[in-house]
Amino acid sequence: MSTRRAAALPLAGFGLIALGIYATLFVLASSRLFERAPGLGSFGITFDLLITIPAAFYLMVVRPRKLPWLTLVPCVIASAWAGMLVLPPEHRQLLHAARFLIAPAELWLVGYGCLRAWRLLRSGTHPGRDVPEAVRAALGEIVRYPAVADAVAAEVALFWFALFSWRSRPRVAPGATAFTQHRKSGITGIVGAVSFVGVIEAAGVHLLAASWNPTVAWVLTALSAYGVIWLVGLGRSVVLRPTLVEREGLRVRIGALYEAVVPFDAIVSVTEARSGPAKRRARGYLHASLFAAPRLMIELKEPVEARGLYGNRKRGITRIGLLVDEPAELAALLRERMAAPHDAGWTSWLGIL
């Protein structure tokens, strides 16, 4: 049995136990036994959700793997939200009271992660590290589960790009050369136009839905606002995360969507993308372009892996269709670096890619 599978067994066992407890509590909350003593039943269900399940998580996962106690916070939050589905609305008083303690824990966890990310950026250990990478690294120290860290880091990064990045500049490590893709492709204009239309549409939908159900109207408005923020964040990430030619490889970036590190000795050819682009979902192909056709086609002799939002990975990439504002300059620089000798032991400081 591999080490990874052995490490996953306690988590899988806890997941089965938690699902069993959730199912039992749901059946209990819907039974006549609960109707006879709703006060005692709601107390018992709340206790199991906020104490029993986190305790099982601690004993089965946190303690054996020597994880930080902060890892318990997401488990408690998830159990509290599950309680909203298990308990009837008229018997959630204890759960609502517990949420006053959970909310500060959520804020503290997010605040601690942001503070840790800010310190990583200021430390200068990795000059080219930007906000998404710093947030992912900081959350990885707290949560220790890559899937959770990736998901939270993606949301935090997109909100940062959309709301707080307007005075920021791309972070480029010394010795690296940046190639943008937003100056000549019209990406920023497209994002701005679609976002403006989204705001107008959200206002119209809100007015129509408010006459029927105000709650539904605000839910739809919140979803529309999230979509606009997500789109603006994606557009800003394209501006602040250019493709980089680093000391020993090409770092391909599609804003915050995907990032792949390609060693120079893995590149077979760099040609102009004269014909139509390959299908975006074709096997072995990475479409490194937004809202426009790629300008360069990079063929690889060794497959590489691209890491995307929310921990999504695309493996076995042997062709990359790349859009940059200056394709001729990038192609010339890549051919120059391909002809030079390189250290075969080079690895990216990002490591996790």
Q: Consecutive 10-residue runs of the chain (353 residues): their mean pLDDT?
A: 51 80 81 77 80 84 72 75 74 65 62 67 58 71 67 81 87 88 86 90 87 83 89 92 90 90 91 68 85 89 88 88 92 88 49 41
Which residues neighbour 155 within 8 Å (Cβ) at sequence distance 6 or greater? none
**pLDDT in the model for residue 324:** 92
**pLDDT in the model for residue 351:** 43
CA distance between the termini of the chain:
25
**pLDDT in the model for residue 238:** 92
**pLDDT in the model for residue 4:** 47
**pLDDT in the model for residue 30:** 78
pTM (predicted TM-score):
0.66
**pLDDT in the model for residue 243:** 92
**pLDDT in the model for residue 218:** 87
Asked whether the beta carbons of 266 and 300 are under 8 A apart, the reply is: yes
Which residues neighbour 14 within 8 Å (Cβ) at sequence distance 6 or greater? 56, 57, 60, 61
**pLDDT in the model for residue 17:** 84
